Amino acid sequence: MEKPSLFEKLNAWARKSIALKLVSIGFLILILLIPAGMLTSLIKERENTRSEAIREVSSKWGYSQTVTGPILTVPYRTAYKDEKGVVRTAKEYAHFLPEALQVTGTIDPHTRYRGIYEVILYQTELVLKGHFSAPDPAGLAIPPADFLWGEAFLSVGIPDMRGIKENMRIRWNDASYDFNPGIATRDVLGSGVSVPIRLDSAASTYAFELPVKLNGSSELNFVPVGKTTTVTLQSKWQNPKFEGAFLPDSRQVNAQGFAATWKVLHLNRNYPQQWRGDLSRRSSGEEYNSPGDLDGSAFGVTLLLPVDEYQKTMRSAKYNVMFIFITFLAFFFVEVLNKKRVHPIQYLLVGFAITLFYILLLSLSEHISFNNAYGLSGTVIIALITFYAHGIFRSNFITGLVAGILTLLYLFFYSLLQLQDYALLMGSLGLLLILAVVMYFSRNIDWYNLQRGEALTESTLPN
């Protein structure tokens, strides 16, 4: 009998070598990391496309709004020496915040669509009430004679002026004034409206009331400029997210919408009730007491979409490699325990089918609910791999076993997506259970004799 050639010996060894099979499976998993990385990029690309659609719609309606003010500003003269030692005068600004500020309002949400993408917009009607104390020049070490009392003005910060839907008119004690666009100084606010007002030397306080009607998108925030700031909001939106520097003191969220109330004291923020100039002037060597950026103390609410399909798809895609590994492990033990050879190409096709699940999930979730998309995609992929496994193993029992394992895996990973707070705990326990099952069914395998086909018979799966 003719002796087998070296190539035939190597081929026979490669077909029976368990070590080589494990190495090849590991190599295939590394190869499948490439489409897994491309999948993550695809999800981010689709999410960016949605963000661009939101920006496009918001640019015509109004971006997120942050209401700041009102702030009372009084110009004053200051003297300085130029480079030649000549004394010159300049106009600076002193800023005063209200003693009390109460904001009450409603948020009326609107849903718009750009292609397949949903955009959450809102229209809010606010009423700002409160009062100012009479400005105290002594508190800023400025001679009263240097103040230009006749040029005092009020300003309200609104980042996106396109969102203003009605003329803004403020009641100031017994008088009323209409706001104009723009602010004379950018010491505090970069965008907003202002109005000249009259200060009465005999008045100790100035009460104000200002209705504001704004359009915006996604977020509505407030800056607590009052010595005591109280904000009360109501809306029929059922999925709010309260964020910013302060959470509500009380809130109620139910099927009818939400209601929330904030109360912020001046002691809770890092800027005073009055100051002059702004921090950018410190470089000139002058001393100022300015709060800088007031937006750091802003708080408010975000109108969330009920389901963010991209976030959930991204979370599920993170389990892709683990899913492939467990499926390959199941196929490998079928090989070992039942002596059914599976070619690396067949492993690779199964791996690509698992990766295709996430592409199906992404595309379907853009049109139907995420839960329905997950169920439909999982059913299609389980059916595809099950029929392919039947063609490989030619065994109804093994085919049913593969279908059962895949179904359990998809259900397990779906449960992890629903348990945000306990996902790590449940994932750890699930992996521990999987490892225990693998160790149990492989406990009687004689790995050293597998290449001679002498694995223990009690470990063999039925046909």
Listing DSSP states for 116-143 in one string gives TEEEEEEEEEEEEEEEEEPP-GGGGT--
Statement to judge: residues 220 and 125 lie in one domain? yes
The number of C-alpha atoms within 13 Å of 353 and in the hemisphere containing its C-beta is: 21
Residue 408, phi then psi, degrees to nearest 5: -65, -40
pLDDT confidence of residue 125: 92
Residue 312: which H helix or E strand, with range?
Answer: helix 309-317
Q: Would you say residue 281 has pLDDT above 70?
A: no
Q: Would you say residue 336 has pLDDT above 50?
A: yes
Residue 352: which H helix or E strand, with range?
Answer: helix 344-365
How many Cβ atoms from other residues are within 10 Å of residue 268's Cβ? 12
Task: Identify which of 392, 416, 396 has the alpha carbon closest to the alpha carbon of residue 404.
Answer: 396
DSSP one-letter string for 146-199: GB-GGG-EEEEE-S-GGGB-S--EEEETTEEEE-EES-S--SS-SSEEEEE-PP
State both tokens at 340.
């059914």
Evaluate whether residue 1 is within a structural domain: no
pTM given for the model: 0.71
Statement to judge: residues 124 and 200 lie in one domain? yes
Mean pLDDT, rounded, for 375-401? 86
pLDDT confidence of residue 35: 79
Question: Strand 100-114's sheet: what is its strand order?
Answer: 175-178, 169-172, 205-217, 117-133, 100-114, 228-235, 257-265, 250-254
Evaluate whether residue 150 is within a structural domain: yes
Evaluate whether residue 2 is within a structural domain: no
Statement to judge: residues 297 and 153 lie in one domain? yes
Q: Which domain holds residue 386?
A: 13-51+309-459
Q: Would you say residue 301 has pLDDT above 70?
A: yes
Mean pLDDT, rounded, for 37-60? 78
State both tokens at 271.
């800027």
pLDDT confidence of residue 362: 84
Evaluate whether residue 5 is within a structural domain: no
Statement to judge: residues 410 and 448 lie in one domain? yes
Domain boundary among 303, 334, 365: 303
Span of 8-12, 25-29, 190-194 with lowest mean pLDDT: 8-12
pLDDT in tens, 400-417: 888 888 888 888 888 777
DSSP label at 266?
Answer: G
Evaluate whether residue 191 is within a structural domain: yes
Evaluate whether residue 120 is within a structural domain: yes
Statement to judge: residues 246 and 320 lie in one domain? no
pLDDT band at 211 (very low <50, low <70, confident <90, very high): very high
Q: What is the CA radius of gyration of the chain?
A: 34
Q: Quick check: 278 and 187 in contact, CB under 8 A?
A: yes
Q: Quick check: 237 and 302 in contact, CB under 8 A?
A: no
Strands 228-235 and 192-196: unpaired
Mean pLDDT, rounded, for 293-311? 80
| Percent of the chain's residues with pLDDT above 70 | 83
From residue 185, give the alpha-carbon distance in Å to each of 158, 290, 366, 449: 15, 14, 46, 86
Statement to judge: residues 267 and 371 lie in one domain? no
Statement to judge: residues 293 and 320 lie in one domain? no
Task: Identify which of 447, 454, 457 has the alpha carbon closest to the alpha carbon of residue 19.
Answer: 447
Evaluate whether residue 8 is within a structural domain: no
Q: Would you say residue 231 has pLDDT above 90?
A: yes
Span of 159-168, 270-279, 416-425 with lowest mean pLDDT: 416-425
From residue 290, give the alpha-carbon distance in Å to each of 93, 135, 380: 11, 16, 62
Span of 315-324, 373-382, 425-434 with lowest mean pLDDT: 425-434
Statement to judge: residues 169 and 266 lie in one domain? yes
Statement to judge: residues 81 and 152 lie in one domain? yes
Statement to judge: residues 254 and 332 lie in one domain? no
Evaluate whether residue 57 is within a structural domain: no
Domain boundary among 286, 303, 320: 303
Statement to judge: residues 84 and 139 lie in one domain? yes
Contacts (Cβ under 8 Å, ≥6 apart) of 179: 156, 167, 168, 169, 170, 193, 194, 195
Statement to judge: residues 25 and 111 lie in one domain? no
Domain boundary among 248, 281, 303: 303
Q: Which residue has the higher pLDDT, 105 or 16?
A: 105
| Percent of the chain's residues with pLDDT above 90 | 21
Count of structural domains within the chain? 2
- Start-to-end CA distance of the chain, whole Å, equals 35
